[in-house]
């Protein structure tokens, strides 16, 4: 089985024995939980679309191991065309879910670990690359969703991992055995962990010799003994618990989820280890992963942006002002910003290059420019959406009041739109805009645009490193006829 159906995926998650806590309670059934189910539906879409002939070219590829058709989310990029298709696939899924569909981090981790393990083996004659190839082939053959885990809690940011007062604030190896290692620590902001079969752990920063125990990469099942998942809060998340919730939820069927994932003395078998103390390769793995993931945002955020722009246009139409010049200008500006993000994602893909291992890496400078724009443009797009929507988006009565026979008649009368557009239609589109810009979907659009794949300063550091000022100065000297001293 190289491709699962969406329903097969749902049942495969149901079989996991995850140790999950949310809102102070243990969650034994994540599949049918009303808060978590929309996030599961978003991942399911990555399986559903792969079964549709019209999306086959974007959603699937061929395994480099077996030649079988596989889901592109489990693929190792073989050329720049693969990199471009990845971005187009992500935009498509953003359009279909208006949310985070959660498999991107695992896909980006696959490609960074694939090339890094090859070069680690090349220097140290280790067996990490073969370990990883076997793991990835297993993932492809079973069409698994894998959670990529990079961000540590970090504690005091001015101190390196080994200098922290609490040594567990960065995930570390606490015991090395002949048959494997034992790890302890945590990973924060883990997107889609409750919807994943495996978790692929990577270091979070470049490291020095003193941090040997923290330079670790491995994969284990998400229901491994010692793993505890604590689901994060999202704005308006408990609306999904309300009886017959529909309008007030906004994006009812899809969503994202994040969690703090604790590794309390988790055993990792020897053949699942991809880095074990080789500190100089920790930075390479981080940098390559960050580049891939910053490329990803030129696709997924754009797809969600498409939905938000559409919702804003509908809101203007329902308000009776679709042809007003300043409304049209705002929609044009939103489109301009959104397509600029997409252009950056395509550009860093088209300028990709082949690594020593054979897979393709994006252009790091352009990927960081892409993500730097993502830290800004979605905020402006969201601001313009809120401007067009009007204040009713955040002062509107609840769905329960709308359905109440006493108050409902007043809401239907006074919230009616242009040309007798019903109050219900206006409420639905306003709640969708609220959901994307302020509510539960904001974790996959607005706020994540700032901090996902690294903070703005992280991209600026990489832009400075990749910008090649020395070359630019030489070009200027040549044009100005300034001779070298």
Q: Which of 128, 300, 318, 344 is catalytic?
A: 300
Closest CA to 172 of 183, 187, 160: 183
Place of tokens 């504690």: 155
H or E stretch including 261?
A: strand 259-269
* CB-based burial label for 473 (10 Å; 0-12, 13-18, 19+): exposed
Kindly state the tokens that stand for 270: 């020897």
Residue 133, number of CB atoms within 10 A of its CB: 17
* 191 assigned ligand-binding residue: yes
- What's the rounded Cα separation, in Å, for the pair 92 and 52? 13
216-221 and 353-354 strand pairing: unpaired
Q: Which of 292, 297, 360, 445 is catalytic?
A: 297
Whether residue 236 lies in the annotated active site: no
- What's the rounded Cα separation, in Å, for the pair 349 and 92? 17
Torsion, Cα 14 16 22 24, to 10 degrees, reads: 120
- Residue 189 pairs with which residues in a beta bridge? none
- What's the rounded Cα separation, in Å, for the pair 133 and 249? 42
Contacts of 297 (CB under 8 A, 6+ apart): 341, 345, 370, 371, 374, 449, 452, 453
Whether residue 128 lies in the annotated active site: no
- What's the rounded Cα separation, in Å, for the pair 304 and 286? 26
Place of tokens 């306003």: 430
H or E stretch including 187?
A: strand 180-187
Place of tokens 């596989």: 70
- Contacts from 59-63 at CB under 8 Å and sequence distance 24+? 59/89, 60/3, 61/85, 63/2, 63/137, 63/140
| 123 backbone dihedrals φ, ψ, rounded to 5° | -85, -40
Q: Which stretches of 93-154 are assigned E, i.e. beta strand?
A: 146-149
Whether residue 344 lies in the annotated active site: no
Q: Which of 74, 97, 116, 258 is catalytic?
A: 258
Report which DSSP code applies to 340.
H
Task: Check if the beta carbon of residue 171 is closer than 8 Å to that of residue 152.
Answer: yes
Whether residue 300 lies in the annotated active site: yes
Q: Which of 100, 344, 348, 370 is catalytic?
A: 100
Whether residue 189 lies in the annotated active site: no
Query: What is the chain's percent helix, strand, coil content, to nearest 5?
Result: 55, 15, 30
Whether residue 68 lies in the annotated active site: no
Contacts of 322 (CB under 8 A, 6+ apart): 313, 316, 328
Whether residue 326 lies in the annotated active site: no
Q: Which of 129, 189, 197, 293 is catalytic?
A: 293
Residue 35, number of CB atoms within 10 A of its CB: 21
- DSSP for 299-314, please give it: HHHHHHHHHHHHHHHH
Whether residue 124 lies in the annotated active site: no
Q: Which residues does the annotation place in the binding site for FAD?
A: 191
Residue numbering of the annotated binding site: 191
Which of the residues are catalytic? 100, 104, 191, 258, 293, 297, 300, 448
């Amino acid at each position: 089985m190289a491709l699962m159906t969406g329903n097969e995926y749902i049942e495969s998650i149901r079989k996991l024995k995850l140790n999950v806590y949310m809102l102070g309670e243990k969650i034994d059934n994540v599949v049918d939980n009303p808060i978590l189910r929309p996030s599961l539906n978003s991942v399911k879409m990555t399986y559903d679309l792969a079964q549709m002939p019209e999306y086959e070219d974007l959603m699937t590829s061929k395994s480099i191991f077996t030649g079988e058709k596989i889901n592109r989310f489990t693929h190792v990029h073989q050329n720049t065309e693969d990199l471009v298709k990845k971005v187009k696939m992500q935009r498509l899924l953003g359009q279909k879910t208006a949310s985070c569909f959660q498999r991107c981090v695992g896909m980006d981790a696959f490609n960074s670990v694939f090339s890094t393990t090859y070069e680690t083996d090349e220097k140290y004659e280790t067996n990490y690359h073969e370990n990883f190839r076997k793991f990835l082939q297993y993932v492809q053959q079973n069409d698994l969703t894998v959670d990529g885990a990079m961000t540590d809690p970090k504690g005091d940011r001015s101190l390196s991992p080994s200098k922290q007062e609490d040594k567990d604030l960065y995930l570390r190896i606490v015991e090395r055995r002949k048959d494997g290692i034992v790890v302890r620590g945590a990973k924060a902001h883990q997107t889609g962990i409750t919807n994943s079969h495996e978790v692929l752990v990577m270091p979070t920063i470049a490291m020095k010799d003193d941090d040997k125990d923290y330079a670790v990469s491995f994969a284990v099942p998400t229901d491994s003994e010692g793993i505890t998942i604590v689901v994060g809060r999202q704005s308006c998340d408990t609306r999904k618990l309300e009886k017959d919730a529909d309008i007030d939820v906004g994006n009812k069927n899809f969503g994202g989820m994040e969690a703090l994932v604790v590794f309390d003395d988790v055993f990792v078998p020897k053949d699942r280890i991809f880095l074990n103390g080789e500190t100089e390769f920790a930075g390479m793995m981080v940098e390559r992963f960050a580049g891939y993931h910053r490329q990803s945002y030129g696709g997924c955020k754009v797809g969600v942006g498409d939905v938000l722009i559409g919702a804003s246009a509908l809101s203007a139409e329902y308000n009776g002002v679709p042809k007003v010049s300043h409304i049209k200008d705002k929609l044009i500006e939103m489109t301009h910003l959104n397509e600029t993000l997409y252009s950056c994602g395509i550009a860093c893909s088209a300028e990709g290059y082949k690594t020593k291992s054979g897979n393709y890496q994006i252009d790091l400078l352009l990927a960081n420019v892409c993500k730097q724009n993502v830290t800004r443009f979605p905020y402006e797009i969201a601001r313009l959406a809120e401007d067009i929507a009007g204040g009713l988006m955040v002062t509107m009565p609840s769905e329960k009041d709308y359905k109440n026979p006493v108050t409902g008649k007043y809401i239907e009368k006074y919230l009616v739109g242009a040309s007798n557009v019903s109050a219900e239609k206006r409420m639905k589109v306003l709640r969708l805009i609220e959901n994307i810009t302020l509510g539960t979907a904001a974790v996959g659009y607005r706020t994540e645009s700032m901090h996902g794949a690294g903070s703005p300063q992280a991209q600026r550091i990489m832009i400075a490193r990749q910008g090649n000022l020395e070359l630019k100065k030489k070009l200027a000297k040549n044009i100005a006829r300034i001779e070298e001293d």
